[in-house]
Amino acid sequence: MRLEIGEILIRDIQFGDRTKVSGGTLYINKSELVAKLIDDEHIKSISVELAKPGESTRITPVKDVIEPRVKVDGPGNIFPGVLGKVTTAGSGRTHVLKGCAVVSCGKIVGFQEGIIDMSGPGADYTPFSKLFNIVLVIEPAAGLDQYGYEKAARMAGLKAAVWLGEAGRNVQPDNIISYETKSVLEQAAEYPDLPKIGYVYMLQTQGLLHDTYVYGVDAKKIVPSLLYPTEVMDGAILSGNCVSACDKNTTYHHQNNPVITSLYEAHGKEINFMGVIITNENVFLADKERSSNWTAKLAKFLGLDGVIISQEGFGNPDTDLIMNCKKIEKEGVKTVILTDEYAGRDGASQSLADSDPLADAVVTAGNANELIVLPKMDRVIGMLDYTDKIAGGFSGSLRPDGSIEAEIQVITGATNELGFNRLSATMY
């Protein structure tokens, strides 16, 4: 399967009379965008604000981040099974408004949304401070429960990203990047002397607003499955979860998964990238055993020499991570795991809730318990009244002067377990 990504570089965003891309600027007709999104009985109001890199701006509480895209050639549409009919993503050409994002914002749970600072020390911990952000502050209709609110906010963000992405349909991209993975037998034969490497992609599926969707299906209902890597890059997987902000995979993370792009960069040179195994993170032991058994079976079935395993979240999913690791290792397939740590503010506590001697190749995305002070910002998009309750915050986190003292857990993407961040560790 072959996919072309056409990158249209966005260097500024502004409101205007017409939604279009011109000279690297995305112009947005604000009233048309609101009208597109407000046609939902579950939404009371939506305000749209712009946030640019370097501004003294704080965005919170962040629900999701989504990259605007449009399908310009080939079958399917953006987010198949959600905003269009179920077709297979991952082929043809997709245009991307690179450098901007839709950020959905709302107090859905109150303790597992996040913060994006566009400047200051907090900005260094999130990749989204470098983007031109179109922020949707979504107020729910009266009496709407958390589940309805989450769905309404999720759909509003996706609709906005698709609507804005249309502005790039007829624009000549600045860059066109091609990715291709062939059928299993063809791919194995193409580079017979290179190690066959796969990617085990763990998806957050613990329920109670801890959900991820694959072609519109709640991934807790799936058994481990094979995907072409280009399907992931083309919108097959999207976020529907409200988990700790630091290691949550937003939809933007799925669209731009750095594990996949890095494996493609090494493909045909150092490795033979064979494909992606998606699996879920379960609550009950029997489900964990079933999914980890299937994951190990698929790794063996593909004849892989090694895999990279990434998880999403911490605590309970650590068990799924270690189960996948040790069962795949026992099939004779080498593993490297990607995770983050909750090692206490002093870094002295056990980093993961589970471990095994076979998990001896580990990449860490940082310790989410480290403290940081986020200075007061001149402008807040959203609201601050829940700050002391957010995961990583505590009573008194929001100081009288408007600054925030909290763990980096509050920052969206700070310790992302795909490595989509700046934190790691070096052993001496």
Query: Which active-site residues does the annotation give?
Result: 242
- What is d(CA 87, CA 90) in angstroms, rounded to the nearest whole number? 10
**Greatest CA separation for the chain:** 64
DSSP state string for 194-252: SPEEEEEEEEE--SSS--EEETTEEGGGPPPEEE-HHHHHTTSEEE-----GGG---HH
In the block, tokens 């499955």 appear at 225
Residues 82 and 158: their CA atoms lie apart, in Å, by 9
- How many Å apart are CA 112 and CA 109, to the nearest integer? 6
> Does residue 150 contact residue 209 with C-beta atoms inside 8 Å?
yes
Q: How many CB atoms lie within 10 A of CB 53?
A: 15
Please, what sign has the CA dihedral across residues 125, 55, 244, 66?
negative
**Interstrand relation of 196-204 and 272-281 (parallel, antiparallel or unpaired):** parallel
Q: Which of 346, 354, 347 is nearest to 322 (CA)?
A: 354
The one-letter amino acid at 51: A
3-state DSSP assignment of residue 310: strand
Q: Which residues in 14-28 are b (16+ Cβ under 10 Å) and which e?
A: eeeeebbbeeeebbb
